[in-house]
Amino acid sequence: MEYRPFGRTGVKVSPLTLGAMNFGRRGNPDHDDSIRIIHRALDAGINVIDTADVYSQGESEEIVGKALAAGRRDDVFLATKFHGQIGDHPHHRGNSRRWIIQEVDNSLRRLRTDWIDLYQAHRPDPDTDFDETLGALSDLVGQGKIRYIGTSTFPADQIVEGQWTAERRGRERVVSEQPPYSILARAVERDVLPVAQRYGLAVIPWSPLAGGWLSGRYLDGRPSRRAALFPERYDATTEANAPKRAAVGELAALAEEAGLSLIHLALAFVLEHPAVTSAIIGPRTLEHLESQLDAVKVTLTPDVLDRIDTIVPPGVTLNPADAGYHPPAITSPGARRRSG
């Protein structure tokens, strides 16, 4: 496997990252089976694992910790995240110094490690000053508990704010961004990806298969757990998802014409962008993993890439619900009205 530079850190990483969101009761509750998937990914040359404290409320981190405990920790660039609600306590969430300092120790314990390679803010926190977050993370770098700082699903303006804050306040610099990016969700091509390139950030996109849409999973109309939980994104029968349904049909035909699986077409597309470092895949089963590994061997021709652009134009996300984050300026009516 050909390894890529992780921004300007000097670290080399595989073009595929193993995402651990589906390990635990949220996806695959069988710990032994999940560990087999992790070991198979490592044996195939993947050297990055990405998880989060909120995935199955810490169970994902525990599974990853078990998998790496048998002498494999040193070979892995290990990433996790903070921000999401853990349990019911109102302080057990967000990007405050109080929570970060507490939660990093919880993640270290669950992961069975003395250090985290990449510690990421899972989403922006409008209630917390960015300097407070960077200050806490900088202290953790100094203590040796984390090596690098990253963000996930941050708007371009906040990525820039993080860079300027680090420079002006003498904080550790954010070195990576983890945005949503797939053929069906291309909005980050407008600003996030160019900004990441400008500042030399590594980019590790999540959901390159659009939550399973680009595996063809939702085309047959069968009910699924995701569609039941998040119909706005995964219910193929809704009007909001009609453009995705139509696009996937065209993309499946294009993949067949090019002699590729739809999965390989989708992953190769994300890996083709010059800003992208490593695409996060999130297999729930060993079969899912095996169907994705060989995507690193695929190079899409200019003609195929041009055809993709006609199906989903550059910079377009077909369903706004797939953006991953909407700022309060959009979600809160009070942020747009002087009264009432």
User: Could you list the active site residues?
Assistant: 55
Residue 189 to residues 197, 224, 319, Cα–Cα distance (Å): 11, 30, 15
Q: Nearest Cα to 101, choosing from 113, 91, 90, 87?
A: 91
- Burial class of residue 31 in the structure, from the number of CB atoms within 10 Å of its CB (0-12 exposed, 13-18 middle, 19+ buried): middle
d(CA 183, CA 189) in angstroms, rounded, equals 11
Residues paired with 12 in a beta bridge: 5
d(CA 200, CA 73) in angstroms, rounded, equals 27
Look at strands 77-82 and 48-50 and give their pairing: parallel
Question: Do residues 58 and 86 make contact, with C-beta atoms less than 8 angstroms apart?
Answer: yes
Question: Do residues 318 and 230 make contact, with C-beta atoms less than 8 angstroms apart?
Answer: no
> How many CA atoms does the CB half-sphere of 335 hold within 13 Å?
8
